Amino acid sequence: MNDLLRPVSAAPKPLSISEFNRTARETLEQRFAASVWIEGEISSAKLVTSGHLYFELKDEREDARLACVMWKGSLAKAKAKMTVGEKIQLRGKPTIYNSRGSFQFVGDAATAAGAGAAAAAFEALKEKLRAEGLFEEERKRPLPRFPKVIGVVTSPTGAALQDIIKELFRRWPVRVVVSPTLVQGAEAPAQIARAIAQVQRIRALDVLIVGRGGGASEDLAAFNDERVARAIAGCRVPVVSAVGHQVDYTLADLVADLRAATPTAAATICTPEITEERDRLESFHRRLRSALSGKLSALHLKLHRLQPRDPRRAIAVERQRLDGLIERAEEALRKRFVAQRRALAQADVNLQGNHPRVRLANHRAALERLGARMLPAMQRRAERRALTLRDLRDRLDRSTRKLLERRGNALGLAAGKLDALSPVKILARGYGVAMHEGRALVDASTVSPGDSIHLRLDRGTLDATVTRVGT
């Protein structure tokens, strides 16, 4: 009896969607208070205008996917390519987005999957080459002071090649031989080694520059390949490595005879400065003239002292011999000076002819001539395209009008048929609709004598009672 009289407790108050999402998010974030690392393959990615990246990671071993996001600041520091198909390791925390109730992982750091194994392999290769003595200073060769032919192994489309050529031509008249190659990607190591082997076939080659511009660590991976390191070590001429920037250091840098911080620095190392060499030559010429002048003065003084004790004839002979020596010395000095000045003038002419501004002007003139020849053809092509578009527009207008006309006729016919089949039209021809219990009466056996029925006519309704039921 007491159980029957016990009051029934009221049902618990339901949570709103916002409250439920907030509670779930707080519970999840408390469970994962510390950041965790996850690994997967990027299956989709979308970079929005704000700079944030929304992407999805998938697990290859199981059919599992996870929605992820990296804010703009974290994305800029990511050490992995955040593109579809890349396998990455992502650090962050899970959360629930309140507005949509969606589960997502907010990443704050990313690295390429397997980066640790790659670093271990690099260190193992580095120790192997070190044990073979490829890094020893004793095998490093000095660079030629006045090179005539310099080889460059790099990408033909990269900025590094332009920087090297510009600096070489600015400093010294030299012949540059480019051996083009890929500088990043899976095929780059083999191509770099092959380019080094090919450029060595030039007998006049004096020194070789191998390198590329800066980039991420994975972009410089080709210069950490064993094939490239051994190709540099086996090169018959001195090699200057110019890979990346000052902070970058690769196996190519360790094996090369000399390492340059940048491609431009490599060009500076390989060539002397023509203005400095000109100043040095002029200084040498001044010292030589001064030394000859001092020597001649000493000989004149000696001859003057010997004159009182020597016969006149001997003095005359010695004076004549000395004059001849002086004349020959001055002539030899004059010829050497003229030859050196002529060489410097020719070097200036070569340098001016190879100056980037002159070459750029020649290319610009050729481009203008090419544009002048191509402009009429481009104008005729544009006129033909304008006529074609006008014809297409006219045909489209005619087709649209015909289609609308056909659709209008079909709509009129359908409306006429619909009007003829209307129940209201049937009632107007003298028919009526019998209703019983709210439904249309179509079978007499469904009513009995005494039942009430309702008749609907074209104008008004009738109530009637069934007196007899027939078949």
pLDDT digits (tens, 9 = 90+) for 268-304: 999 999 888 888 888 888 888 888 888 888 887 877 7
Two tokens, residue 390:
């006008």
Residues ≥6 apart with Cβ < 8 Å to 92 = 35, 36, 38, 68, 105, 106, 107, 108, 109
User: Any idea where the domains of the chain sit in the sequence?
Assistant: 17-115, 138-270, 274-353, 427-465
Residue type, 146: F
Name the E strands within 220-339.
Answer: 239-243, 258-259
pLDDT digits (tens, 9 = 90+) for 131-189: 999 999 999 999 999 999 999 999 999 899 999 999 999 999 999 999 999 999 899 99
> Which element (helix H / strand E) includes 462?
strand 461-465
Residue type, 393: R
Distance of CA 327 to the CA centre of its chain: 68
Q: In what order do the strands lie in the sheet with 433-436?
A: 439-440, 433-436, 452-456, 461-465
pLDDT at 205: 96
- Cα separation, 239 vs 161, whole angstroms: 16
The pTM score is: 0.45
Q: Which residue has the higher pLDDT, 40 or 13?
A: 40
Q: Which CATH class is domain 138-270?
A: alpha beta
Q: What is the DSSP letter of 79?
A: B
**The residue to which tokens 């670093």 are assigned:** 119
Fold of the domain spanning 17-115: OB fold (Dihydrolipoamide Acetyltransferase, E2P) (2.40.50)
